[in-house]
Chains A and B, each alone.
Chain A
């Protein structure tokens, strides 16, 4: 399942999926910017059939944070 998340990220930002891990963030991935982050959230919401809260989306600083939110929503991605 982690794989699926990485794939979405790699598709939205158009980067190789082996460049994606839990520490990936706008700081170390220049293709990730404040705007296409919204597009990423759209894609994740559709794929995992969930909705982020406003608080949650503000909290996301790196890929690992997304996983924490999944856990909170009871979505098992490991």
Chain B
């Protein structure tokens, strides 16, 4: 283990970090049924390294029940954003952990439901008392069984009972705020004999050995990425020795390594991993120095190629500078450089991009291609708390985007192009289908976002059921297909005269086609119906939302102190090329 990865490093580093003025804030609470020293220190340091100022709350040793049950506990006063409840099998099962032999078969289900109820009750109490996300760990399935090789068929099998408890825990994921972390998966990865150290357990009730605490916190960081909206959106790939072995320009179509031979299999497997990520919403792009015709021939025609042209949202195969290509990809896809991950086998390119574009995540690809698949499967940067329908459709949406661009270039005149597009905007209310996506939009949209307020699902849900708020979203489609739900606004009904725009945002891939004007007209029309005189809005500048800066001025809002105000007696310009469908 490198120095930077061992617990001593994190313990010492945690003493030196100081909060920064700008930067994301995160409040994390830890509750556990065993000693968890070192957890919060490691988490604070890991967050700090990613630009997040994390403050933590650690419940006293084995006090999680009391902390959750007492409405005035320090836990609730701390107001966490994420709470980790780290349970362990020994604690939950007590003496059953050692033997279930005395239990008659009929009582099995009773044990299971009793344990599940215990865990369920505290989780429910917590979610009632707090807005925090609650991540509860599933139970580890022990390696050892007193029944030995016969464990599988014994009805009182410990492993079976724990599996059934776990299955139930994962069902809870269907609720808003509860997330179950598959702890058993963590133990499978590193091994029970490494993670559980009897000496540390007997002498200090340590159930995750000190050596593996940083690895465990790495796992919990997945939630941090997802909750703080740091998820990467796009993987940019080199071609030669990255997607296939060898160099197409030198080795030729028939001699590159891709297919059923040792090296070829490594690249096929890597491509399959990439495809799976692509199918669940991560965009792929190519940035390669090659003759376009040579390389595209492989992508189109090579029999063992897994990724085809349609899997790539953007293709840059040319002799231009790799950094410039990356910037172009970022611009064309409307995705920030800090949402990109770059895979390139050449250490010189890795270094060059790292120096020129520090925002881009550069994967340290080794020479050995057999490691590529493992590297991508260990990345934690693609986590989202819930994969929405939009995610799974994203790739085809971007394909539509590519075709829109082609039409735009063909038509030449932008207004003419918009008329050709047949844009439809459907206004939808927040409901159980749209709330996850609305939350996701507030978490991920950076550019056309007037206030950049980040809201979790349960907050959006609360707003939508409040009489003082309006939460709506728009689904945009055109002749090239459905863009999905790409814009949302949240209005605060301040009084009978005035509404305040709390949130107004549009996904960057739709920006500039008149949809934002349609959304604002929608708000104004609704306000007039309610007899509202003034719409008050705010533009909160961030490092990224410059594209939205002049929006209110352009639509006829007047500046009053720090706010933009629109008088509903005035008319607002409305784009005529868009058809609006209302779902009142």
Query: B8, A54: Cβ atoms under 8 Å?
Result: no
A61 at the interface (CB under 8 A from B): no
A38 at the interface (CB under 8 A from B): yes
Query: A36, B199: Cβ atoms under 8 Å?
Result: no
Query: B204, A36: Cβ atoms under 8 Å?
Result: no
A39 at the interface (CB under 8 A from B): yes
Chain A neighbourhood of B200, CB < 8 A: 38
> Which of B6, B15, B198: most chain A CB closer than 10 A?
B6
Query: A38, B204: Cβ atoms under 8 Å?
Result: yes
Query: A57, B199: Cβ atoms under 8 Å?
Result: yes
B210 at the interface (CB under 8 A from A): yes
Query: B203, A36: Cβ atoms under 8 Å?
Result: no
Chain B neighbourhood of A43, CB < 8 A: 6, 8
A52 at the interface (CB under 8 A from B): yes
Query: A35, B203: Cβ atoms under 8 Å?
Result: no
Query: A35, B37: Cβ atoms under 8 Å?
Result: yes
> Which of A13, A38, A52: most chain B CB closer than 10 A?
A38
Query: B211, A34: Cβ atoms under 8 Å?
Result: no
* Nearest neighbor of B1 in chain A, beta-carbon distance: A46
Q: Which of A12-33 contact B (CB under 8 A)?
A: 12-14
Chain A neighbourhood of B6, CB < 8 A: 39, 42-43
A35-B38, A35-B204, A39-B7 known; A54 and B199 CB under 8 Å? yes
Query: A42, B210: Cβ atoms under 8 Å?
Result: yes
Query: B37, A57: Cβ atoms under 8 Å?
Result: no
> Which of B199, B204, B206: most chain A CB closer than 10 A?
B199
B433 at the interface (CB under 8 A from A): no
A40 CA to B198 CA in the complex, in Å? 17
A69 CA to B292 CA in the complex, in Å? 67
A4 at the interface (CB under 8 A from B): no
A1 at the interface (CB under 8 A from B): no
Query: What is the size, in residues, of chain A's interface with B at 8 Å between Cβ atoms?
Result: 16
Q: Which of B488-527 contact A (CB under 8 A)?
A: none
- Binary B-proximity of A56-73 (CB < 8 A = 1, otherwise 0): 011000000000000000
In whole Å, how far is B194's beta carbon from the nearest beta carbon of chain A?
12
A35 CA to B7 CA in the complex, in Å? 11
A28 CA to B7 CA in the complex, in Å? 23
Query: B211, A42: Cβ atoms under 8 Å?
Result: yes
Q: Which of B307-338 contact A (CB under 8 A)?
A: none
Q: Which of B444-501 contact A (CB under 8 A)?
A: none
Query: B11, A36: Cβ atoms under 8 Å?
Result: yes
A42 CA to B9 CA in the complex, in Å? 13
A20 CA to B375 CA in the complex, in Å? 41
Query: B210, A38: Cβ atoms under 8 Å?
Result: yes
A52-B199, A54-B199, A57-B199 known; A36 and B206 CB under 8 Å? no
A22 CA to B200 CA in the complex, in Å? 24
Query: B8, A39: Cβ atoms under 8 Å?
Result: yes
B542 at the interface (CB under 8 A from A): no
Q: How large is the interface on B (under 10, 10 to 19, 20 to 34, 35 or more residues)?
A: 10 to 19
Query: B8, A11: Cβ atoms under 8 Å?
Result: yes
In whole Å, how far is B35's beta carbon from the nearest beta carbon of chain A?
8
A40 CA to B8 CA in the complex, in Å? 8
B12 at the interface (CB under 8 A from A): yes
> Which of B11, B35, B198: most chain A CB closer than 10 A?
B11
A14-B12, A39-B7 known; A54 and B204 CB under 8 Å? no
In whole Å, how far is A35's beta carbon from the nearest beta carbon of chain B?
4
Q: Which of B54-78 contact A (CB under 8 A)?
A: none
A42 CA to B214 CA in the complex, in Å? 14
Chain B neighbourhood of A34, CB < 8 A: 204
Chain B neighbourhood of A57, CB < 8 A: 199, 203
Q: Which of B20-60 contact A (CB under 8 A)?
A: 35, 37-38
A54-B199, A57-B199 known; A39 and B206 CB under 8 Å? no
Query: A36, B202: Cβ atoms under 8 Å?
Result: no
Chain A neighbourhood of B35, CB < 8 A: 35
Residue in A13, A38, A58 whose CB lies within 8 Å of B206? A38
A27 CA to B154 CA in the complex, in Å? 53
In whole Å, how far is A7's beta carbon from the nearest beta carbon of chain B?
12
* Nearest neighbor of B213 in chain A, beta-carbon distance: A39
> Which of B8, B15, B35, B203: most chain A CB closer than 10 A?
B8
In whole Å, how far is B202's beta carbon from the nearest beta carbon of chain A?
6
* Nearest neighbor of A33 in chain B, beta-carbon distance: B37
Chain A neighbourhood of B11, CB < 8 A: 14, 36, 39
A38 CA to B206 CA in the complex, in Å? 10
Residue in B15, B203, B210 whose CB lies within 8 Å of A58? B203
Q: Which of A35-51 contact B (CB under 8 A)?
A: 35-36, 38-40, 42-43
In whole Å, how far is B518's beta carbon from the nearest beta carbon of chain A?
58
Which B residues fall within an 8 A CB radius of A?
Answer: 6-8, 11-12, 15, 35, 37-38, 198-200, 202-204, 206, 210-211
Which A residues fall within an 8 A CB radius of B?
Answer: 11-14, 34-36, 38-40, 42-43, 52, 54, 57-58
14 A-B pairs with C-beta separation under 8 A: A11-B8, A14-B8, A35-B35, A35-B37, A36-B11, A38-B210, A39-B6, A39-B38, A42-B7, A54-B198, A54-B202, A54-B203, A57-B199, A58-B203
CB-CB nearest 8 A-B residue pairs: A14-B12, A35-B37, A12-B8, A38-B210, A39-B8, A39-B7, A39-B210, A54-B199
Known: A14-B12, A54-B198. 18 other contacts (CB 8 A): A14-B8, A14-B15, A34-B204, A35-B35, A35-B38, A35-B204, A36-B11, A38-B200, A38-B206, A39-B6, A39-B7, A39-B8, A39-B11, A42-B6, A42-B7, A43-B6, A52-B199, A57-B199
